[in-house]
Amino acid sequence: MADYNTKKLEQRISEEGFNKLMKINNPNLHQFIAKYVGLCNPDQVFVCAGKPDEIQYIREAAIRNGEERRLATEGHTIHFDNYYDQGRDKKNTGILVPKGVELDEAIETKDRDTALKDIHEILKDIMKGKEMYICFFCLGPTNSEFSIPAVQITDSSYVAHSEAILYRPGYEEFVVQGPKARLFKFVHSQGELGEQRTCKNLDKRRIFIDLEEDTVYSANTQYGGNTIGLKKLAMRLAINRGSREGWLTEHMLIMGVHGPKGRVTYFTGAFPSLSGKTSTAMLEGETIVGDDIAYLRKRNGKVRAVNVEKGMFGIIQGVNSKDDPSQWKALHSPGEIIFSNVLVTPDKHVHWIGKDGEVPPKGENHSGGWYIGKRDKEGQEIPCTHPNARFAIDLRMFDNLDHWWNVLEGVVVGGIVYGGRDSDTWVPVEESFDWAHGIITKGASLESETTAATLGREGIREFSPMSNLDFLSIPVAKYIQINVDFARDLKYPPLIFSVNYFLKDKDGKFLNEKTDKRVWYKWMELRVHKEVGAIDTPTGRIPKYKDLKRLFKEVLRKDYRKEDYNKQFMVRIPENLAKIKRIENIYKTKVKGTPKILFEILEAQKKRFLECREKYGDYITPDKLLEK
């Protein structure tokens, strides 16, 4: 079989590319590549080992074939997706499961046999007349226990270019690991393109994740979330693998919070969309390790985490010079950046929703030629940029990148943070009583309110345990239990916190300023090192007023009023009891086999609320709890 695959590759690939593949001693890899070269049937094949001249060839190919166009700033390019291909396609994305296997109703699955037949029919001859790119990457740092080699097959130079920005080169990792490598494999084709160089056959859009073969298939789509396989698609593979091996794949940022005397404490954080994740990862005065996906492993009684990526595929809406100084500076500097689905002005500069300055009257965007007031065929006004417009950038272009962002053994995690968009329940910052309490009441109970701007309805609470529901490839109950069990043999488990940047008063006014989060993280950093006290409430431990008063003065140079503290950290019993009821109902009716410990911890929390209500009423200011 090895000789057969070798001969097939030798016939279809240039001598130089063939030699690159043969340097990797992995017959399974050769079989995989030979299979899809034959099935997709490209006119030519380019093998990229990650050398600078090879990456440059892909950059130039993206310009040559019209998938990207150069902008005025050196190194900047623009890419457009189809008008109706602007986000993750949940309907046509699925975990492939064999007959008789079921996951929770919230996890989209497809019958494995049927789906594989479907995708292979779609992929047959799909690259005829095109060039195939075979690229090698590494998820996590190379030469590390975190390393997962990943091979991407695609006919999109935009996808290959994006992954070269976002992920570490992995060819040498393939060579080193040889036949022992346990690969993640990705096959993508954008299919037939129209005049605008965007996908034509969206009715045949497919994104399938095959856990049995650690393979992801994607076809007839260009949008990065559906095609940049090493991102959220690889998360499904990694969650599944980690669940069997005792480590975690989490939808989390990693950041360094700078404490007294030069100390840096590392936090991970999980936030649903539009809940402050990117603004937290880029928090002024702190340093970023990663903004999106983390692998967590246990070593010597501690948790260590790495950033899976080396770049950021960020939502650009709302990025401005005041709130996002590091991103703003990087996005306006010469260097390799791919903008997608933003407005391009006639002088080849870019504009997006929320950028400083006035919206240009005309330009080009994902709808083609654009002008203010333009409407689509459904009669909806088209904004200057899509709300999900993106940028791909290497983290090394940020001036706040942490010194240890690429350390092989990962950074030691001192704290884990869960945050959602919550107008009336969670306080701005709170520490859990212990690991299990934090996992259940903060991670597994995470909700976030929708916004009218994005979903057409406001204030609907969406449930997303650990902000990972959309990416789970194992049952929710199993995922919760794995998280609870993760700390069992840890000598120094990270503290678990919750944050809420969106608490409002009865008139709908926010009780927090945008910059207040800088103080919450300084307080959490001090708590990790047991340098400040806390007040016990029914839901966890909150800051003392005197400590926040000092931190507000030191960090933000402003006074912090006791009146504001009492409003922000008031225990809201009716809202919290309603939340417990919602969460219990979800785990009783929508999740199969929920761990018993979840209901026990929620019941204990409910009991504490009822006891407090008897003593103090429905709304309790922190000073009343101090009187205990």
297's tokens: 């492993």
Q: Cα(400)–Cα(95) distance, rounded to whole angstroms?
A: 37
Beta strands in 197-263 (DSSP E): 206-210, 215-219, 248-250, 253-258
Cα–Cα nearest to 545, from 530, 561, 527: 561
Helices (H) and strands (E) in the chain, counts: 20, 33
C-beta separation of 119 from 208 below 8 A? yes
Find the catalytic residue in 147, 162, 243, 275: 275
Instruction: Give the Cα-Cα-Cα angle 207, 146, 31 (nearest 5 degrees).
Output: 50
Name the H helices within 95-156: 112-123
Can 367 be counted among the known catalytic residues? no
**Cα-based distances in Å from 226 to 68, 199, 308, 554, 591:** 18, 13, 18, 44, 27
Euclidean distance between the first and final Cα of the chain, in Å? 75
Nearest to 250 by CA among 310, 300, 290: 290
Closest CA to 255 of 43, 480, 417: 417
The DSSP 8-state label assigned to residue 182 in this structure reads -
Query: What tokens appear for 312 in the block?
Result: 């950021």
CB 178 within 8 A of CB 169: no
229 CB burial (10 A radius; 0-12, 13-18, 19+): buried
Two tokens, residue 188 = 């993508």
Q: Enter the tokens of residue 183.
A: 């690969």
Measured in whole angstroms, how far is the alpha carbon of residue 41 from the centre of its chain?
33
Residues 150 and 31 sit within 8 Å (Cβ to Cβ): no
Which secondary structure element, helix H or strand E, spans residue 264, and what is its range?
Answer: strand 264-270
Q: What is the DSSP string of 536-597?
A: EETTEEE--HHHHHHHIIIIISS---HHHHHHHT-EEHHHHHHHHHHHHHHHHHTSTT--HH
Planar angle of CA 219, 110, 230, nearest 5 degrees: 45
Ramachandran category for residue 301: left, alpha or beta (phi over 0 → left; psi -120 to 50 → alpha): left
Active site residues: 275
